[in-house]
Every structure is written in structure tokens, then in C-alpha cells.
Amino acid sequence: MRIVIGQGSCGIAAGAEKVRKALLGADINCEVSVTGCIGMCYLEPIVDIYDDDNKLTRLVKVSENDAEAIASYINSGDKSFIEKLEVSAEDSEFLSKQIRIALRNCGIINPEQIDAYLEADGYTALKKALCDMTPEEVIDVIKTSGLAGRGGAGFPTWFKWNAARQSAGEEKYLICNADEGDPGAFMDRAVIESDPHNLIEGMLIGAYAIGAKHAVVYVRAEYPLAIKRLKNAIAQATEKGIIGNNIFGSDFSCDFTIKAGAGAFVCGEETALIESLEGHRGMPRLKPPFPAQSGFWRKPSNINNVETFANVAWIINNGGEAFAAMGTEGSKGTKVFAVTGKVKRSGLVEIPMGKTLRDVIFDIGGGIKTGKEFKAVQMGGPSGGCIPTDLIDTVIDYKALGATGAIMGSGGMVVMDESTCMVGMAKFFLDFTAKESCGKCIHCRIGTKRMLEILERITNGEGKEGDIELLEELCYSIKDGALCGLGQTAPNPVLTTIKYFRDEYEAHIRDKKCPAGECSALIEYKIIPEKCKGCTLCARNCPVNAISGTVKNPHVIDPNKCIKCGKCFTVCKFGAVVKE
């Protein structure tokens, strides 16, 4: 028997390391190893027990206190010790309904050991490419596969590779954009933490295809574990000669460096990323020239996202046709989504293109966890938009999603229920973009700030007639005038919420009401006397002593003192506190 503990960042955050230590300390005689993130983040910490026939028993929501029970099971083989920890049949469907290519090894192999990757056919695609294929043939296979950029824009990968290959010059760079800044998306982190060699392999194939001798990964500083595992993987691959000179005995040589970002969302924009790599402020450059002509150190450069590279080795091994067999006319292969928010089962979902949003959110994600109604799903983060209930059957396809006003984006899917205020949501994203604006161009620097100010006044109950139109005017102008993708897409969250939830905006402006009950300036807390049991819990929790009343008698909130923190609402066990 062997025990494998899921140790991605979320697993560790949920207590996986404590579980591992407890198991190491327990009286058992079997191997305890780690793996990355399986993607069932809502069930972390997850402990997989393989018996000698490699049959898997998956335990979920394990705590360090369960170590003894697990030890007892392992020592006795008596399943009753762990019955209550075993993953339910329903939860197992979360994985069984997925098709995994980019995430194929995630949560299965040990990310800290190259041998684990090699055992899983690792680096065979690289060897095949270097020994049996010309760079042009590699590009051809990628072209056949229909692989498109998974970072957001969805640009055909082969086209970029080809442009960089065609670009004159000896010195070229292959860059991986692992600056996953989109709030609500974390598949890139999962891939690097769980399967770093897959990324390295994909990048080396890409470097070979474009003729680059230097590969660079730009990783967010917020991902320390990813950086650690990737560094480790690079060291191991270098030691095995997979990175370095004359890889697999071919003429191809490539070095590999990691650069950590320092906290700037705009560095996800490729020219800003290059500026940052060069040690400058991450302010986008004017395009043209495009990086394929003049990029890192003004040399031809190609930049792809982590998930894009994570598909490459599979495609080389299985052929472009196999990848293209999945998906729709315009969108091929699979896509990873980070499903979060008010959804029952949150985590990483990889499915073929062509499925619907409903498939992901309801079939796999299990629908809304709160028992409330589904309201919208936010896709594409600050550059994307909110898609309402009516459009839940939209097919996952670059074009179809674009038609809603949202975008495929990097795959963040934040699910919202009735209690989420859509104006507040737009404000949240504008606050984000305004903070992350590099400040170079007028439209983004001042425009996003002014949009935020207008949204702030609307949610504060100070909205004016004409504010919606003013926002729309600003939106279209910023889309047209901003210098880079960050600014050009910043209005999307506002535009889509106005498009689908205009009545909510109007309620804020005209009636000074927040229908979702989220904007504190527009709500009032009250106690329904009939429901109040006089337990005094609310009064004791009120930070400003705004609640008065005696034991066993209905309490009252003084609206003049109330700071609308909502604590009474949260603590009341009888539903006597209501928001209006």
C-alpha cells in the first residue's frame, strides 16, 4: 500500500501538510508521498490510498485527527475505519465527467520527482520532436491540432510560432507567461505545482519549433510553491540533460530561466511582461512591432501561456488530429476552467470545447451551494463579463462566449447567486483594473478611475440619472482608445452587467435600493419582533451597541447607530434579522 497526499497550494492551505506530518508520525508501514492538485479543491485535504493492486481509495476532507483511523485501516484493511472519509459517488463524478489533457498528470504523479514524470511517458514527445521531426513539422502538427492560446486571446498557437520561426535573427526567445493574475483563475498554478515537467517539455518543443535557444518562465511572485517546484524540476531536467546542450543527442540546445514577477497584473500583457523581464516598469509597449519581430531584448520572441504549453507534449504524442477531434468548429481540444464562487463543487474542470456552461456549473460543479438561485457566471475575470441565467446553455467556444460580451479568458468561472450585487461586481472589477492600470495611457489611467468613481457613487446611493449612459460612453471610448489589452477590455464587466442587469443599476440609481441586498449604503437591518426570541446574541455581537432589548423580549436596532456591518444578520439563529 502507499499513501499519496494532494499538496497543491490549496491542499496545503486546507491542512494537507498537517495531515502528512500526522501520517508520518503514525504507526504505519507504508510509503507516504505527495502529489499535486487533483482539482477537487472543495474536498481538500485529499488522501489517496493505493493498495498493492494499485486500486485507489480516495479520502477527502481529511484532518490530522484522522491519521489514526487511516493507520488503523492500513494496518487492518478494515474499511469501516475510513468509511466516513471516503469520497462519495456523487463527488467522484466531478472527475469522471472530465477529459484531462493539460491536467493529465495533476494530482496523480509526484511533481517533485522527474522519474514520476518519466514513468508517465514524460519527455517522449520532446524526444520524438527533436529526433524525428523538423521544426516545421512540429508547427504543422500544432496547426492541425487547432490549439489556440489559452491565456485569454485565443490566438492560434501555430501562427505565433511560425511568425517567430520566420523572423530573422539567430537569437530568439521562448517565453512562458505564468503571470496568472486573473482573479478567479488558478489552473496555471496547478499545472506548475502539480506537473512542472509537462510545462518544461511543452516549452522545449516550442523553443525547438521557433528556433529559440533560451526559454524563460515569468511566474507570479504570489506563487512561491510553483516557483519552488519549477526550479526543482529545471534542476532535475538539467541534470538529466533534458535541458542544456544537444538535448537527446540532437543539435538542439536550450537553457531555461525563471523570473519571478513582482505583483502587477498588467504584466500578463505580453509587451509589459517583456518590459518586466528586462527589469523595467511593466508598462506595455506600442504594437507594432510585435514580439515575434522585436520582443525580449528586442529579439524575436514568442510568448504562450502555461496551459497552452501543457497541451503540447500530448499533441505531439497523440497527433494533431486527436486533439482537433474534440471541440467545435472554431475551438479545438479541451479547456481547463477554475470553477469557484457560490458553486457546490469548486475546483479545476477540464472538458472538451463544445460543452455548455450548464454542463460545467451544474453537471460537474453541482449547481449553487447555498440553495439560492443561480444568477450569473463571471468569465474571463477583469477582461471578461457576466453571463446571466438565460444564456446558461451557451456553448464553450471562443466565438460563442465572445458573442455574450464575456470572453473565454484564461478560464476563470466565478459563479454567483441572487445575493451577489451585479453593480457591486462591476465595481469590484473596476477597482481591480484601476489599481492594476500601469498608468501609461489616459483612457485606462483616468478612465477606469472615473468609471470606478461613478460605480462607487451608484452603490453608495448617490447615483444620478444619466450615470448609466455616462458609463457606457466611457466604456466604448476606453475600449477604443486604451493602449493595451488590459485597458481595452477593462469595460467588459461593466458593459455586460449593464447589458444583462440594467434594472439593478436603475434600482440603485432611482430607488436607492440594492436588490441583492449587498450594498451596505442601501440596506437597512431590522429585527422582526415576532421571530426574535430575545436571546441577546445579536446585541452582544454588535460592535457599536446599536441593538437594545432585554432577555426573552424582542430586540430593536437603532438605525442611527447601525454601521451595517451585518454581524447581527450573520449570528441570528432564528432568521429574525432581515436586510431591507
Partner 1 sequence: MEKKTVDLSLLDGVLEEYAPVKGSLITILQHTQDIYGYLPKEAIELISDKTGIATSEIMGVGTFYTQFRFEPVGKYLIMLCQGTACHVNSSELILQTIKDELGIEDGQTTEDGLFSLKCVACLGCCSLSPVMMINEDTYGSLTPDKTKKILKELREAAL
Partner 2 sequence: MINLTINGKAITAPEGSTILEAAKANGIDIPTLCYDKAVEIYGACGLCVVEAEGIPKLLRSCSAKVMEGMVVNTESERVVRSRKIAMELLMSAHDGDCVAPCQLNCPAKTDCQGYVGLIANGEYDAAIKLIKNKIPLPASIGRVCPHPCEKACRRKNVEEPINIAQLKAFAADMDLKSESYLPEKQPATGKKVAVIGGGPAGLTAAFYLTIMGHSVTVYDMMDKMGGMLRYGIPQYRLPKEVLDKEISIIEKSGVKLVNNVKLGKDFTIESLKAENDAVIVAVGAWKSSSMRTPGEDLEGVYGGIDFLRAVIQKNPPEIGEKVAICGGGNTAMDACRTAVRLGAKEVYVVYRRTRNEMPADKLEIDEAEEEGVIYKFLTNPLSFNGENGKVKSITLQIMELGEPDASGRRRPVPVEGKTEEIAVDSVILAIGQKLVTEDVSELELNNRGNIVADDDFFTTSIDGVFAIGDATNRGASIAIEAIGEADRCAKAVDAYLNGQALDTRVPYISKRNESTIDYSDRKKESRISPKVLPADVRNKSFDEVSLGFTEEEAKAEASRCLECGCREYFKCKLLNAAQRYDIDPDRFAGEMPQKYTRDENSFIERNTAKCILCGLCVRSCREVMDIHAIGLMGRGFKTEVSPAFALPLDQTKCNNCGLCVQLCPTGALTEKANLVKQVPLDEQYTEETVEINGEKASVMVSRYNGKILRVIPNDKLSETCGLSREELMKLVKE
Of residues 43 and 125, the one with the C-beta less far from partner 1: 43
Selected binder of partner 2 within 195, 307, 359, 436 (CB under 8 A)? 436
Q: Which helix (H) or strand (E) holds 304?
A: strand 301-305
As measured in angstroms, the least distance from the Cβ of 386 to partner 2 is 24
Cβ atoms of 337 and 414 within 8 Å: the answer is no
Cβ atoms of 110 and 116 within 8 Å: the answer is yes
Q: Which residue has the cell 478560464?
A: 411
Cβ atoms of 22 and 67 within 8 Å: the answer is yes
Q: Does 239 bind partner 2 (CB under 8 A)?
A: no
Best CA proximity match to 172, nearest among 61, 25, 303: 303
What CA–CA distances, in Å, run from 559 to 68, 457, 518, 541?
Answer: 52, 21, 17, 16
Q: Does 440 bind partner 2 (CB under 8 A)?
A: yes
Q: Does 27 bind partner 2 (CB under 8 A)?
A: no
Site mask for partner 2 (CB under 8 A), range 264-293, x = bound: x----------------x---xx-x-----
As measured in angstroms, the least distance from the Cβ of 354 to partner 1 is 25
Q: Does 435 bind partner 2 (CB under 8 A)?
A: yes
Q: Which residues bind partner 1 (CB under 8 A)?
A: 9-10, 12-14, 41-42, 44, 180-186, 189, 220-224, 259-265, 276-283, 297, 338, 340-342, 346-347, 378, 381, 412, 414-416, 420, 428-429, 432, 436, 438, 543, 565-567, 570
Quote the CA–CA distance of 53 and 41 in Å, as a whole number: 27
The strands making up 2-6's β-sheet, listed across from edge to edge, are: 31-35, 2-6, 47-50, 56-59
Of residues 75 and 419, the one with the C-beta less far from partner 1: 419
- In the list partner 1, partner 2, none, the entry touching 566 (Cβ below 5 to 8 angstroms by class) is partner 1
- In the list partner 1, partner 2, none, the entry touching 200 (Cβ below 5 to 8 angstroms by class) is none
Question: Using a CB cutoff of 8 Å and minimum separation of 24, what contacts does 80-84 make?
Answer: 82/57
Of residues 167 and 271, the one with the C-beta less far from partner 2: 271
What CA–CA distances, in Å, run from 460 to 43, 433, 505, 520?
Answer: 38, 20, 12, 8
Q: Which residue has the cell 472538451?
A: 352
The torsion defined by the Cα of 264, 267, 269 and 271, in degrees rounded to 10, comes to: 140
Q: 290 exposed, middle or buried (CB, 10 Å; 0-12, 13-18, 19+)? A: middle
As measured in angstroms, the least distance from the Cβ of 260 to partner 1 is 6
Of residues 245 and 477, the one with the C-beta less far from partner 2: 477
Ramachandran bin of 547, using left for φ above 0, alpha for ψ from -120 to 50, beta for the remaining angles: beta
Selected binder of partner 2 within 194, 437, 459, 496 (CB under 8 A)? 437
Q: Does 449 bind partner 2 (CB under 8 A)?
A: yes
- In the list partner 2, partner 1, none, the entry touching 181 (Cβ below 5 to 8 angstroms by class) is partner 1
Instruction: Find the radius of gyration of the CA atoms of the chain.
Output: 26
Of residues 45 and 487, the one with the C-beta less far from partner 2: 487
Q: Does 235 bind partner 2 (CB under 8 A)?
A: no
As measured in angstroms, the least distance from the Cβ of 281 to partner 1 is 4
Q: Which helix (H) or strand (E) holds 4?
A: strand 2-6
Of residues 137 and 476, the one with the C-beta less far from partner 2: 476
State whether the Cα torsion 52-54-57-59 is positive or negative: positive
Please give the biggest Cα pair distance in the chain.
Answer: 85
As measured in angstroms, the least distance from the Cβ of 298 to partner 2 is 12
Q: Does 443 bind partner 2 (CB under 8 A)?
A: yes
Q: Does 407 bind partner 2 (CB under 8 A)?
A: no
As measured in angstroms, the least distance from the Cβ of 428 to partner 1 is 5
Q: Does 434 bind partner 2 (CB under 8 A)?
A: yes
Of residues 66 and 182, the one with the C-beta less far from partner 2: 182
Q: Which of residues 455-494 bind partner 2 (CB under 8 A)?
A: 470, 473-474, 477, 480-483
Of residues 379 and 444, the one with the C-beta less far from partner 2: 444
Binding segment for partner 2 (CB under 8 A), chosen from 227-235, 444-452, 532-540, 542-550, is: 444-452
Quote the CA–CA distance of 94 and 165 in Å, as a whole number: 40
Q: Which residue has the cell 463571471?
A: 378
Residues in the site for partner 2, rule: CB under 8 A?
264, 281, 285-286, 288, 434-443, 445-450, 453, 470, 473-474, 477, 480-483
